Amino acid sequence: MFASLFLTNIFWNMTSEERLKKQKDLIEEIGIYFDKEGFQPIAGRILGLLMVMDKERFTFDEIVEELQISKSSASITLRNLEMRGDIEYITLPGERKRYFQINRKDPLSVIEEFEKKIIKSKEIFDYVLELKEDQNSPNAVFFKELKSLTGLLLASFKKCKEEYKSSEK
Amino acid sequence: MFASLFLTNIFWNMTSEERLKKQKDLIEEIGIYFDKEGFQPIAGRILGLLMVMDKERFTFDEIVEELQISKSSASITLRNLEMRGDIEYITLPGERKRYFQINRKDPLSVIEEFEKKIIKSKEIFDYVLELKEDQNSPNAVFFKELKSLTGLLLASFKKCKEEYKSSEK
DNA sequence: TTTTTAGTTTATAAAGTTGTAAACTAAAAA
DNA sequence: TTTTTAGTTTACAACTTTATAAACTAAAAA
């Protein structure tokens, strides 16, 4: 879906208005993407806004205005996104306003999120196996296979982190 | 959480009743786990049941009875889980009943699911970058970093799949 | 001191999800 | 042919989520 949009644009230079239009469309697409990932619709659109626009910092009122949402929705959703670590805000000296922006955290933390999921499922497989009467039952054999896969994946993530660190230098 | 349960059991041999009790508790834990992954509560408990019990195939009525749920909930949830490819059923010759069991699919498909997610996010980063006026803005630089990470991850998954295949032989 | 700014909190409406009971159906058994 | 088995479908109740309007608050500006 994103790929097809991409291919329609790469061959010409857009005007500012064309780009703005496409950015607004992309915000909606990103909103739907995050929706499917389990975020609430407004959270997805806020993330989209902060990701795609040329302006990369928005105040509370600008977000309310831009996305046409209520102040209370904005207030609650911004607090949640900040607590989850997806966005952050800065304040400028002499101003009371908060400027929200995406939290550009270390890309390695993305890998670490994957790692946590793998470790969690490995724990479940271990405990299921521990409670199986017949260690050679079809499910027991299957969970052993999955366990060996988690081992490979964790090793692979480790190498990946090292490669990324060395490519940064 | 699972880890702590695990450590309390490893040092003695359980009686059948103790094991059964612990298996039922684990079904609830796995239910909560899948809940958090976005499954509905009943779906999570059905998956738990089919994963942990010594008996690894259950009929419709056994599931209804075991989990104390209505036939309609069971009917709808089993259909959804089957369509998603999480469970499957077999029929025995001369019987009309369906026997449900977890779909013990190739572990490599687990990696492939991760790969799809990575590819999807790479598409988003590409399109966001395509629409950025300033290719050196903080977000643009950040998304370029994330893109290079997706490259490393995909290469890493590829190697991981090869290792797994060769370890299987 | 009063007003404005920059939000937060509360109460509630609207919509969506989850699960049930009861009626229904199609195939097999009696 | 009637009854039983093995579910499915429908209608609806209960609950949860999502978003809003309106009232409120605390800090800064006028």
pLDDT per residue as tens digits for the range B147-162: 999 999 999 999 999 9
- Banded model confidence at residue A169, pLDDT cuts 50, 70, 90: low
Q: Stated in angstroms, how far is A136 CA from C27 C1'?
A: 37
Alpha helices in chain A (DSSP H): 2-7, 16-36, 41-52, 60-67, 71-84, 108-130, 138-168
DSSP line for B80-145:
HHHHHTSEEEEE-TT---EEEEE----THHHHHHHHHHHHHHHHHHHHHHHT-S-TTSHHHHHHHH
Summarize the confidence of residues A1-15 as an average pLDDT. Answer: 59
Residue A14: predicted pLDDT? 81
* Widest distance between CA atoms in chain A: 69
For B14, which DSSP code?
P
Compare B168 and B151 and report the one with higher pLDDT: B151
Of A19, A134, A149, the CB nearest to B164: A149
Instruction: Tell whether the model's pLDDT for residue A146 goes beyond 60.
Output: yes
| Closest residue to D27 (CA, C1′) | A96
CA distance B71 to B75: 6
Residue A11: predicted pLDDT? 52
Instruction: Tell whether the model's pLDDT for residue A156 goes beyond 90.
Output: yes
Summarize the confidence of residues A78-86 as an average pLDDT. Answer: 97
Residue A8: predicted pLDDT? 54
CB within 7 A of strand C: which residues qualify?
Answer: A 59-61, 71-72, 74-76, 78-79, 95-98; B 40-42, 68-73, 76-77, 94, 96
**Helices B41-52 and B60-67: crossing angle, nearest 10°?**
110
Q: Which nucleotide is nearest to A95 (CA to C1')?
A: D28
Helix (H) or strand (E) holding A99: strand A98-102
Nearest to residue A60, comparing CAs of A96, A31, A36? Answer: A96
Q: What pTM was computed for the model?
A: 0.90
Q: What are phi and psi of A79, to 5 degrees?
A: -60, -45
- Banded model confidence at residue B123, pLDDT cuts 50, 70, 90: very high
Q: Put residue A137 in one of left, alpha, beta given phi > 0 → left and psi -120 to 50 → alpha.
A: beta
Secondary structure class of B33 (helix, strand, coil): helix
How distant is the Cα of B6 from the closest Cα of chain A, in angstroms?
A: 6
Summarize the confidence of residues A107-134 as an average pLDDT. Answer: 96
Provide the 10 A C-beta neighbour count for residue A75.
Answer: 12
Contacts of residue A3, defined as CB under 8 A and 6 or more positions apart, other chains included, come to B123
Summarize the confidence of residues B39-52 as an average pLDDT. Answer: 97
- Banded model confidence at residue A12, pLDDT cuts 50, 70, 90: low
